[in-house]
Amino acid sequence: MRNTSTGSHVIDTSVARSWSFEEYAPAAGPFSTLSVDFDGVDDDARTGNGAVAGATTFSLSCWVKSSTAVASGLIARSGGGRYNYILRLTAGGQAELAFETAASGIQTLTGTLTTLQDGAWHHVAATFDGGTLAAALYVDGYTDATAAFAAVPNDTGARRVYLGRYSTEYLPGRLDECAIYSTALSAGDVLAIYNAGAPMSLADLASSPGLVAWWRMGDGAGDAFPTIADAKGAASLTMTNMIAADIVEDAP
């Protein structure tokens, strides 16, 4: 017998009909149910200029879903033809990290997996340690590529952060749970964020230090078109060339 007002149920534990009550908690729903859909033409979501500080050590993390084989910006801190860092998809379906340096030119790390434009959700992360110059790319929780770069980013002045775009590379697809860190996450940190294929609360994840900006892409408190609130800091996004229906019911 079930008590519908409290969520309890009653168990008959003896022939004498004595009753005991056992409480249960209803199953929790998914942490993320919404994402933002970009048209690949002119859509982006952007911060104000300088809302996220420039960095020579950083990590970038997001969930992406795309089925179109074109170069596509995911997270870019850029402006005026310059950029602090870019996480993007190549036309070949690989993850790629890039940034400019003062004397060593553009540093680029391209992943080996070519399946990121298959219409499924994937978690993509990039890390760079300005002390050791070590860069890494991760796909779905596991290391995809690593490299030792020659120098640190030099364009760390005031820039916007763009989601779904780098320059003229617009994403035809969806983004969810995007984040920027001021630290180089470890492989274990990234695997914990991937969480076996489902987003989780980054604020509660002790193994992912240095979280400075986190956009829930529709699920966050304060998310209401055209604003995507920053669930960690004060770098809210403005959905640009977009409509309210671009916040969609779809998540990893």
Per-residue pLDDT of 178-215, as tens digits, reads 999 999 999 999 999 998 899 999 987 765 679 999 99
- What pLDDT is attached to residue 8? 42
In the chain, the N- to C-terminal Cα span, in Å, equals 36
Which of the four pLDDT bands, split at 50, 70 and 90, describes residue 155?
Answer: very high
SS3 content of the chain, % helix, strand, coil (to 5): 5, 45, 50
| For range 202-230, the mean pLDDT | 91
* Distance (Å, whole) CA 107 – CA 136: 12
Reported as a single tens digit per residue, the pLDDT across 88-113 is 999 999 999 999 999 889 999 999 99
What are the angstrom distances between the C-alpha of 12 and each of 2, 20, 42, 208? 12, 7, 63, 47
The residues that bridge with 117 in the sheet, in sequence order, are: none
- What pLDDT is attached to residue 136? 98
| For range 66-80, the mean pLDDT | 97
Structure tokens at 36: 């933002």
- What pLDDT is attached to residue 9? 43
* Distance (Å, whole) CA 60 – CA 64: 13
Which of the four pLDDT bands, split at 50, 70 and 90, describes residue 80?
Answer: confident
Q: How far does CA 221 lie from the centroid of its chain?
A: 17
Task: Tell me 230's DSSP state.
Answer: B
The residue to which tokens 């859509």 are assigned: 43
Is it the case that residue 2 has pLDDT exceeding 70? no
- Label the pairing between strands 160-163 and 121-129: unpaired
Task: Tell me 183's DSSP state.
Answer: S
Reported as a single tens digit per residue, the pLDDT across 28-67 is 679 999 999 999 999 999 999 999 999 999 999 999 999 9
* Distance (Å, whole) CA 212 – CA 235: 9
Which of the four pLDDT bands, split at 50, 70 and 90, describes residue 127?
Answer: very high
With contact defined as beta carbons under 8 Å apart, do 181 and 52 qualify?
Answer: no
pLDDT mean across residues, the chain: 90
